[in-house]
Amino acid sequence: MQVLSVASEIYPLVKTGGLADVVGALPAALAAKDVATRTIIPGYRAVLAQLKKPQTVHAWKSLFGGEARLLAAKVAGLDLLVLDARHLFDRPGTPYLDEMGHDFPDNWRRFAALSRAAADIAGGAIAGYAPDIVHVHDWQAALTLAYMRYDGLSVPGVITIHNLAFQGQFGSDIFPMLGLPPQAAGIDGVEYYGGVGFLKAGMTAASAITTVSPTYAQEIRTPTFGMGLEGLVNGRVDVLHGIVNGVDTEHWNPAADEHLAASFTAATLARREKNRAALEERFGLSPDGLLVAVISRLTWQKGMDVLAGALDALVGRGVRFCVLGSGEAMIESAFLAAAGRHPGRIGVATGYNEPLSHLMQGGADAIIIPSRFEPCGLTQLYGLRYGCVPIVTRTGGLADTIIDANDAAVAAGVATGIQFSPLAHDTLIDAVARAQALFREPREWARLQKQGMKSDVSWDRSAAQYRALYDHLLAGHPR
Ligand code: ADP
């Protein structure tokens, strides 16, 4: 089976978030299920620089205002198709933002071009290549399915939503420039609240819609989580699926992790103490009490405002914190101020630091993830794998991947973490207090850690679910 994957980022070439991890990891996991994936991504400057001996497999004289070529190349085991369109992608900044941190004003054009190119490939632009399925990710790739629909292609299209908060919403003035037929302007096409909605257009045209956990798939049917799209989601619930992400179990392996002071397994948990000691030194912490890690964007979505407001009370109860993150300025300064008030009890590192994030998972006792919504979440999965007990809100992927240590689950020996709901000052403090109570019983705590380390967080199961979905779609679309 051949799948054409369409995305705006892919690990390890270009990453701004969890989307890149998923798009980069799925092809290898699917290969084990006899699915061959080719991924089309934009030819950002940094991507072009990493290609060795690319082959030109298609060219456009004019694609949204300039010449473009499609380059085929293999990088890090990935079968890539790179859209080399200098007028759209050869510029400084991140994939979406200029050097000042502002959205590029022509983002609609850049990602419409990616989508147009992908639809052309689905329609046979590359000699000898005919994908059985087109799988697009998030709003940046979503218009692919609209182009395919109005081109009259019968190839099934899957759209995966990694975060419904990002919808690709633009003014109606761009519609004439998209190259879609007039009938696409309607509410059944790309129209969304008077403008053009890329994600909406993709969800309308898709044969199947997936999101990255079953609970989030249910939550987005409600106004609170649906962010304006709940009506559309409910109308398409018969094709809606939730498939939890996996993690790269080689890169995240506590038994062989170069970023740890000491590697360990479930059988050698005592070795974690060396990592804890390294963390205490790194963050200037005194050596007693539950050590809770925070590795997160410091944002409202992640509930970091509520956590920042609870730090004084928690330190008063003897809890210590090591914090790694960056984000909203007010929340960042709230964490830094708390660290200033509580030297030895709270340490904060701002910025992005992948090696430190490994040491924290391998040395902290617990990791707290108090998200308001969480489509899947990866940090709780790393926590499970590293014996760093997750304390999480009961939402989205957090609800699906953590088993709360309530009395029944503890008695049955199946608990893997602490869940709480709703997110509030008091519920958060109670949840950490529950973790503290368990932590005071070393045998109970070790059971929790070991049970978490047994959880299957690999991509294998998720890849099998995607394969089953593809099979189902192909059965309904004989070609
Ligand atoms: P989201 O994609 O919504 O930010 P996820 O939990 O899905 O949340 O993924 C976040 C990823 O980014 C994880 O791999 C986490 O370890 C990593 N991460 C977040 N903040 C930092 C940071 N400051 N330094 C290093 N890694 C970070």
* Pocket lining: 357 vs ligand 1, CB cutoff 6 Å: yes
The whole-number average pLDDT for the span 433-450 is 97
Q: Which is more confident, 253 or 477?
A: 253
**Average pLDDT value over all residues in the chain:** 96
Cis-peptide, bond into residue 370, ω within 30° of zero:
no
Write down the pLDDT at residue 191.
94
The pLDDT of residue 101: 86
Per-residue pLDDT of 270-294, as tens digits, reads 999 999 999 999 999 999 999 999 9
pLDDT average, residue stretch 354-383: 97
Ligand 1 centroid to Cα of residue 438, in Å, is 27
How far does residue 193's CA lie from ligand 1's centre (Å)?
A: 32
User: Which residue's alpha carbon is nearest to atom 26 within ligand 1?
Assistant: 354
**Chain segment 215-251, per-residue pLDDT in tens:** 999 999 999 999 999 999 999 999 999 999 999 898 8
Q: How many CA atoms lie within 13 A of 409 on its CB side?
A: 15
Q: For residues 88 and 205, what is the distance between their CA atoms, to the nearest angstrom?
A: 25
Is any ligand 1 atom within 6 A of the Cβ of residue 401?
no
Q: Nearest residue CA, atom 24 of ligand 1?
A: 352
Q: Which of 309, 326, 259 has its CA nearest to residue 423?
A: 309
pLDDT confidence bin for 17, thresholds 50/70/90: confident
Taking the CA of residue 354 as reference, the ligand 1 atom at the shortest distance is 25
Specify the ligand 1 atom closest to the Cα of 376.
7
Render pLDDT for 98-152 as a digit per residue (tens, 0 to 9). Answer: 999 899 999 999 999 999 999 999 999 999 999 999 999 999 999 999 999 999 9
Per-residue pLDDT at 346 exceeds 80 = yes
Say whether pLDDT at 298 is over 60. yes
Q: State if residue 381 touches ligand 1 by the CB under 6 angstroms criterion.
A: no
Beta strands in 162-273 (DSSP E): 169-170, 191-192, 195-197, 208-211, 240-242
Q: Is the CB of 324 under 6 A from ligand 1?
A: yes
Task: Using a cut of 0.85, tell me whether the model's pTM lies above it.
Answer: yes
| Angle, helices 107-122/138-151, rounded to nearest 10 degrees | 50
Per cent of the chain over pLDDT 70 is: 99
| CA 261 and chain centroid, separation | 28
Q: Which atom of ligand 1 is nearest to 301's Cα?
A: 3
> Pocket of ligand 1, candidates 357, 371, 380, 384: which has the most ligand atoms within 8 Å of its Cβ, to mutate?
357
Q: Describe the crossing of helices 198-205 and 107-122 by its angle, rounded to 10 degrees.
A: 20
| pLDDT score for 477 | 64
Nearest-atom number in ligand 1 for the CA of 324 is 23
The stretch 169-198 carries a mean pLDDT of: 95
- Statement: residue 479 has pLDDT above 80: no
Q: Is 318 left (phi over 0), alpha (psi -120 to 50) or beta?
A: left
Q: Is 347 in the pocket of ligand 1 (CB under 6 A)?
A: no
Q: Residue 478 above 80 pLDDT?
A: no
Residues 400 and 418: their CA atoms lie apart, in Å, by: 13
Q: What are phi and psi of 402, to 5 degrees?
A: -115, 135
The string of pLDDT tens digits covering residues 59-108 is 999 999 999 999 999 999 999 999 999 999 999 999 999 999 899 999 99
Which residue's structure tokens are 């900044």?
Answer: 93
pLDDT tens across 304-341, in order? 999 999 999 999 999 999 999 998 999 999 999 999 99
pLDDT in tens, 383-402: 999 999 999 999 999 999 99
CA of 106 to the centre of ligand 1 (A): 27
Q: What does the pLDDT read at residue 76?
A: 94
Which pLDDT does position 18 carry in this prediction?
84
